[in-house]
Amino acid sequence: MTSAMTRTQSELEAEDPFLWLEDRNGKEALDWVHRQNAVTVGELQGDPSYQATFDTALDLMTAEDNIAVGAALAGHVYNFWQDKTNALGLWRRAPVASYKTDKPDWETIIDFDQLSAKEGVKWVFGGASRLYPDFDRCLLSMSPDGGDASEMREFDMATKSFIEDGFRAPASKSGFSWLDRDTVIVSAAFAEKDKTQSGYPRVIKLWRRGTKIEDATPIFEGEKHHLAVGGGVEFDGDKRHVLLGKTIDFFTSHSFLRLASGENRRIPLPDDATDTAIFKGQFVFGVRSAWTAPDGTRCLPDGLYSVDFERWIETGAFEPIETLLKPEHRVSIAGLARTQDRLFINLMDNVRGKVVVCDRTDKGWSLKPVALPDNGNVGISHAEHFGASVSFSFTDFLTPSSIVWSDDNGETLATVKSQPARFDAAPYVSEQFEARSKDGTMIPYFVVRRRDQTGPVPALLYAYGGFEVPLLPGYGGIRGRLWLEKGNAYVQANIRGGGEFGPAWHQAALKGNRQKAFDDFAAVAEDVVRRGITTAAQLGIQGGSNGGLLTGVSLTQRPDLFGAVIIDVPLLDMLRYTELPPGASWIAEYGDPLKPEEAAWLGAYSPYQHVAANAAYPPVLLMTSTADDRVHPGHARKMAARLQATGHASTLFFEETEGGHGGRGDRRPQAAQTAMRYVFLQRALSIGPKGGSRFSDNPVLD
């Protein structure tokens, strides 16, 4: 296959007449976006039901009784908060004892609405790296548009102000962490020579106080084709370890320990090691594929193992390997977190959560379950690395979220925060079913619907299916109010490609096997129809990012299965995705379109190339963001343009100018997009007496 980089612009444009829409901020492209937005806003925001839908979404997103989720550090709980008054949000803190009360005594650290008004930039908070051991300084990250690229400034916690002549760096995808009070570890992505081909940091540098960032000292490098590098300090008790890493791709990496001598010594783990932690002198790790350790121990996926890290530092011997957690069928690891004295393992057991607490003594490892509720989605909200506090979240489709808190490493538990119910859950039931996919694999999925349902109703099917990311049960107040209360059903599918059952579930749909994820999704759609939960004409689907690829493929491969399709911040042109930064970072997931054999499987399903003029597509709504610097808006733009150009009038497109890939920042545009989605679904899936949806007369735009 000829590289896109070697073809002329005229050749590319002849092959792809909508290539000009890839120019993110080009006048012609943005003029097209504005015309599209005007039609979509007129169509959806002009609907009589829109205003009430928007008001409900905004009220719930900004409700003052939403849970203030926070993390404890040195006697305070830190929280980022947004409501109607504080559109861009407050970074604030409260004493731990006060946080547990109904009305915590919050102290504002930064008011981002005030800061943005003062500086004329809509700053979006991106987090803060605190300086150990006093935590009186932080490296504050702020995005100017909600994208991934952020500016960094040094901030004084006592004076609540930025430090004049302190550390400061312009917006980029660089990373910053403290080495000591006068030295910052910089994972640099400023100059092109310091970036990987995906646009992420390639070089790690030490930046001394009082010097220019351009003069920072390089200490570690990756290759141009690697995904990224990163570094930071890990504390294990009083011991400080400087860890550096090369992320080769999304699923493989090399980890290094920087010794006092300046040597960067590689930790002898397999390339696909995962779930790592340093705890009481032990290096804990998991693997994505079976690995035989140097001492002959067979390490298996979905298990956890450990080795004496201090011994390895002193002698170089990476042994003996101990088994911390044995693998079990359909049980996978969702994550690790640690306090000063305990290690916590978040597990998924058939897509339901639980937590195990571990201790390490001279006798080895001891494990016991944390006494949390069963049959729901249990997660670790925070674990205080330098203390004993830990908190857990609990939710399911019909149970509002709650925070269970412990000040003694999970021994004593108390529910300290509970979100009020946003809808009456009594009439509804949550059920788990399985659908048989094309190759015979059973695919689990959840259905939330009325208990007294007697016939098919409109249903929304959602899935993700990529990057080893699990899709778990969760309470949706907005979904309950705007969808379930209208008599509709919600379906959530755990298709392959995700991480619900560990690495093997993900790897089953990797690269050339991607079609299995699409087949799984279609199988679930067919199964809910077969069970009489809905009909094809009443079934809407939604997915974002990789899930947007999923719904895009579903549109072009099986339009007969669906009555409406929502495609959010998607990948859709899989033969050019690596040309749109940072698309090259996903080659390990999808494959490389510049390799003929891999282009063959990508081209076999790439939605953009499979739009057909003679297909009977259901109504489609595509949404993206100009500020999305993770998945380029060109994907959604080009797909909408091609659908409309080939005569598919029921295609709507909307592009927000801010918010980035995850819709961060001001809740008002987020509420508007949410409301438009629900209006779109209700219109498209409300079948009229003549059998057509209410989108049959939509105009086609240039």
Sign for the pseudo-dihedral over CA of 23, 27, 28, 30: positive
Q: Phi/psi at 675 (nearest 5 deg)?
A: -65, -40
Distance CA 148, CA 416 (A): 33
The DSSP symbol for 21 reads: G
Token pair of 244 as six digits: 């550096």
* Burial of 258 per CB tally in 10 Å (0-12, 13-18, 19+): buried
CA-wise closest residue to 355 among 404, 422, 407: 404
Enclosing H/E stretch for 116: helix 112-119
> Is 253 a known active-site residue?
no
Cα angle 435, 439, 445; round to 5: 20
Cα angle 340, 360, 368; round to 5: 95
Q: Are strands 273-279 and 282-287 parallel, antiparallel or unpaired?
A: antiparallel
> Is 610 a known active-site residue?
no
User: Residues 382, 632, 648, 661: which is the catalytic one?
Assistant: 661
Report long-range pairs for 423-430 (Cβ below 8 Å, ≥24 apart). 423/477, 423/480, 423/481, 423/484, 423/485, 425/398, 425/399, 425/480, 427/451, 427/452, 428/398, 428/484, 429/398, 430/396, 430/397, 430/398, 430/473
- Could you count the other beta carbons within 10 Å of the beta carbon of residue 254? 18
Distance CA 315, CA 293 (A): 17
User: Residues 545, 554, 625, 693: which is the catalytic one?
Assistant: 545
The DSSP symbol for 617 reads: P
Residue 538 near residue 563, CB atoms below 8 Å: yes
Residues annotated as part of the active site: 545, 661
